[in-house]
Amino acid sequence: MSGAMPVAIGNYLALSSIIFFIGVAGVLLRRNPLIMLMSVELMWNAANLLFLAFARVWLNNAGHVFAFLVITVAAAEAAIGLAIIVTVFRTRANVDVDEVGALRG
């Protein structure tokens, strides 16, 4: 790799946005909690991509560090999310988020 980036930054912006909003659509449109969590992971990663792209443009390490921290927190969050899913859906017939209506009212 030479100094300049071969691909323009605008491309990375578009790509990241598309992946991010695919993730949003997944969260809203699917009712399986596991799929929702995976969509959230998509969103994290889209952001990470962008961080690293800009870090490359400006040759600044902060992007790398932040992306690293994002990965860490994403892992923690995934763990806890899965634990919640297990707890809630362990004794249910349907693994459907719409059924968990105890917060209604």
**What minimum distance in Å lies between the beta carbon of 88 and another protein?**
9
CB contact at 8 A, 5 and 58? no
Which residues are CB-neighbours of 101 under 8 A, at least 6 positions away? none
φ, ψ of residue 54 to 5 degrees: the values are: -70, -30
- Residues 43 to 102: which contact another protein by CB under 8 A? 45, 48-49, 52-53, 55-62, 64-65, 67-69, 71-80, 82-87, 89-102
Q: Which two tokens stand for residue 37?
A: 């969590």
**What minimum distance in Å lies between the beta carbon of 82 and another protein?**
5
Which residues are CB-neighbours of 45 under 8 A, at least 6 positions away? 19
23 binds another protein (CB under 8 A): yes
**What minimum distance in Å lies between the beta carbon of 63 and another protein?**
8
- Residues 25 to 44: which contact another protein by CB under 8 A? 25-32, 34-35, 37-39, 41-42
